[in-house]
Amino acid sequence: MQPFFEDYLKTMQIRHDEILEALDGLPSKALDWISGPEMNSISVMIFHLTGAERYWIGDIAAQEPSNRDREAEFEVHDVEMDVLKRRLNDNLAYARKALEKFSVQDLEAARVVPRDGSEVTVAWALLHALEHMTLHLGHIQITRQLWEQSKWKV
């Protein structure tokens, strides 16, 4: 695998490890807790960010359809911790397999986003996957902090 893609995977692994760190020690009810209106639970955020990772890396960059159901990602509840961890690990394994097929020259290749017909490059899709995941990492970390300070914790 070319160094760019190795670095990409290392960054993805670091962010996944930070998500796992944010999950460490949380009780199952914290995974479904919602801090306020128009907010998402940690379980929803993990389902959504893993769905988005797979979509941008797989469906768009690698052109390998996943049959993603984006709306269903926002409806999950009562998900066990091991299921969340497995989704993160499975995504990393998938990304490694998908990225092994790419060369640096492939980063310039154009891809069409089926949702809106826009055109992006492979590079844009891969960077967007990391950007989006990192945004939700922050949401997960803040949600954990709010959980720890909440009256619902007890």
Any residues with CB less than 8 A from the CB of 15 and at least 6 apart, and which?
130, 133, 134, 137
Which pairing describes strands 119-121 and 110-112: parallel, antiparallel, or unpaired? antiparallel
What is the 3-state composition of the chain as percent helix, strand, coil, each rounded to the nearest 5?
70, 5, 25
Which pLDDT score, from 0 to 100, does residue 21 have? Answer: 98
At 53 the three-state DSSP class reads helix
Model confidence, pTM: 0.94
Read off the pLDDT band of 143 (50, 70, 90): very high
**The pLDDT of residue 62 is above 80:** yes
User: Average pLDDT of 38-58?
Assistant: 97
Which pLDDT score, from 0 to 100, does residue 154 have? Answer: 53
Q: Which domain holds residue 112?
A: 3-153
Which pLDDT score, from 0 to 100, does residue 153 have? Answer: 60
**The pLDDT of residue 43 is above 60:** yes
Give burial (CB, 10 Å; 0-12/13-18/19+) of 7. Answer: exposed
**The pLDDT of residue 140 is above 70:** yes
Which pLDDT score, from 0 to 100, does residue 102 have? Answer: 97
Q: Which residue has the tokens 């914290």?
A: 30
d(CA 82, CA 20) in angstroms, rounded, equals 11
CATH number at residue 127: 1.20.120.450
CA distances for 100 relative to 8, 57, 127, 150, angstroms: 11, 12, 16, 44
Q: What is the DSSP letter of 80?
A: -
pLDDT digits (tens, 9 = 90+) for 96-113: 999 999 999 999 999 999
d(CA 138, CA 122) in angstroms, rounded, equals 25
Q: What is the mean pLDDT of the chain?
A: 96
Which pLDDT score, from 0 to 100, does residue 151 have? Answer: 73
Which pLDDT score, from 0 to 100, does residue 66 have? Answer: 93
pLDDT digits (tens, 9 = 90+) for 26-38: 999 999 999 999 9
At 68 the three-state DSSP class reads coil
